């Protein structure tokens, strides 16, 4: 049995679909379907069972539990604008800590989602405490769990791997609303208004020249599955392309696919000043040293693939 928490969400549902494509049907999906629209992400997937997030530990600690091959822990509140710290620490940190302890006690591999938000506004994005300074409560909730993992790794008898996702985009993210990717919002703006709005300059970058490490969800899923296939690899790894590209480049990729449109620039929001990452670029040296040698999609290729998927799926 394989467990995917957050399995009805963006990355989780893509992971379930990829597992299905590899012949795996014995999958428990764990999520919170208070937002019932997320069912669409699983409509073409095959599951063994669905568990509400509050039910999972009851099942894990109950009788008759089948052997668990691995847990892909993707569930979390991913809203960088959420400032209820108690909620974030309960939902993102405490839940993850309890799951880690369960896995360590039973020697079950745990591959979990961390975030590039732990790095904050720095310019060096390396898996090193000296580089970690989150700008928001979401990033802090992820960092605290990473710190617990670091302390647990020397005594761990099974695989524990944390993946610091950079700016992920791709299919099955429509439920995320304001937290959906720049590519998703750019396509919708282009469809509705004929143009794409980007921020004016910030933090020393020109209009639309803020740079992010944009990574297609297919690449994120591929790293998760590769790590599962290599249980000797443990630790915390950045998951990005290793190459920052501008918002202008991403918007142009959306426009190129559509065949029309223009970019316009809007004032940088006051509420984001001091809380916004104007630059991210994953140092993927640790992932490469671990043996992951596959290329990553660049923005032009990845966005074209995503736009084609959206054209086909509505």
Measured CA distances, 40 to 9, 53, 171, 237 (Å): 10, 18, 11, 30
What's the pLDDT score for residue 99? 97
> pLDDT tens across 32-60, in order?
999 999 999 999 999 999 999 899 999 99
What's the pLDDT score for residue 79? 74
Verify whether residue 273 is a known catalytic residue.
no
- Domain residue ranges of the chain, discontinuous segments joined by +: 2-167+216-240+284-292, 174-211+244-279+302-313
Q: Is the pLDDT of residue 107 over 90?
A: yes
> pLDDT tens across 73-82, in order?
999 877 777 8
What's the pLDDT score for residue 205? 93
201 versus 111: the higher-pLDDT residue is 111
Q: What is the CATH code of the structural domain delimited by 2-167+216-240+284-292?
A: 3.40.50.720
What's the pLDDT score for residue 117? 94
Q: Do domains 2-167+216-240+284-292 and 174-211+244-279+302-313 have the same CATH topology?
A: no
Q: Is 26 exposed, middle or buried (0-12, 13-18, 19+ CB in 10 A)?
A: middle
Provide the 10 A C-beta neighbour count for residue 151. 8
Q: Is the pLDDT of residue 258 over 80?
A: yes
Summarize the confidence of residues 104-112 as an average pLDDT: 98
What's the pLDDT score for residue 91? 86
How sure is the predictor about 149, in pLDDT bands with cuts at 50, 70 and 90? very high
Q: What is the CATH code of the structural domain delimited by 174-211+244-279+302-313?
A: 3.90.25.10
Q: Is 37 exposed, middle or buried (0-12, 13-18, 19+ CB in 10 A)?
A: exposed
Residues of the chain with pLDDT > 70, as a percent, come to 100
Verify whether residue 50 is a known catalytic residue.
no
Selected catalytic residue, list 138, 140, 165, 292? 138
What's the pLDDT score for residue 314? 73
> pLDDT tens across 59-98, in order?
999 998 999 999 999 998 777 778 888 988 988 999 999 9
**What integer best gives the mean pLDDT of the chain?**
95
- Render the burial of 184-201: b for 16+ CB within 10 Å, e for the rest: bbbbebbeeeebbebbee
Selected catalytic residue, list 50, 176, 265, 276? 176
């Amino acid at each position: 049995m394989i467990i995917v928490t957050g399995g009805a969400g963006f990355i989780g549902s893509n992971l379930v679909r990829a597992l299905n494509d590899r012949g795996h049907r014995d999958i428990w999906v764990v999520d919170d379907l208070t937002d019932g629209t997320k069912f669409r992400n699983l409509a073409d997937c095959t599951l063994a069972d669905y568990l509400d997030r509050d039910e999972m530990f009851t099942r894990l600690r109950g009788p008759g539990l089948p052997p668990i091959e691995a847990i892909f822990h993707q569930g979390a509140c991913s809203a960088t604008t959420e400032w209820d710290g108690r909620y974030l620490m309960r939902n993102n940190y405490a839940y993850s800590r309890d799951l880690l302890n369960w896995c360590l006690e039973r020697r079950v591999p745990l591959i979990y989602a961390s975030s590039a938000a732990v790095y904050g506004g720095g310019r060096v994005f390396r898996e090193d405490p000296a580089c970690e300074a989150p700008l928001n409560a979401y990033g802090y909730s992820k960092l605290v769990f990473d710190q617990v993992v670091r302390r647990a790794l020397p005594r761990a008898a099974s695989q524990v791997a944390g993946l610091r996702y950079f700016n992920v985009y791709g299919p099955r993210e429509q439920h995320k609303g304001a937290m959906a990717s720049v590519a998703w919002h750019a396509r919708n703006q282009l469809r509705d208004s004929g143009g794409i709005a980007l921020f004016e300059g910030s933090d020393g970058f020109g209009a639309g020249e803020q740079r992010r490490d944009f990574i297609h969800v297919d690449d994120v899923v591929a790293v998760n599955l590769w790590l599962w296939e290599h249980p000797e690899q443990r630790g915390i790894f950045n998951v990005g392309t290793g190459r920052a590209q501008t918002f202008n480049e991403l918007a142009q990729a959306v426009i190129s696919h559509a065949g029309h449109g223009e970019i316009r620039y809007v004032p940088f929001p006051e509420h984001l000043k001091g809380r916004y990452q104007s630059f991210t670029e994953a140092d993927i040296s640790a992932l490469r040293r671990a043996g992951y040698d596959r290329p990553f999609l660049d923005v032009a290729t990845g966005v074209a693939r995503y736009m084609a998927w959206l054209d086909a799926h509505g």
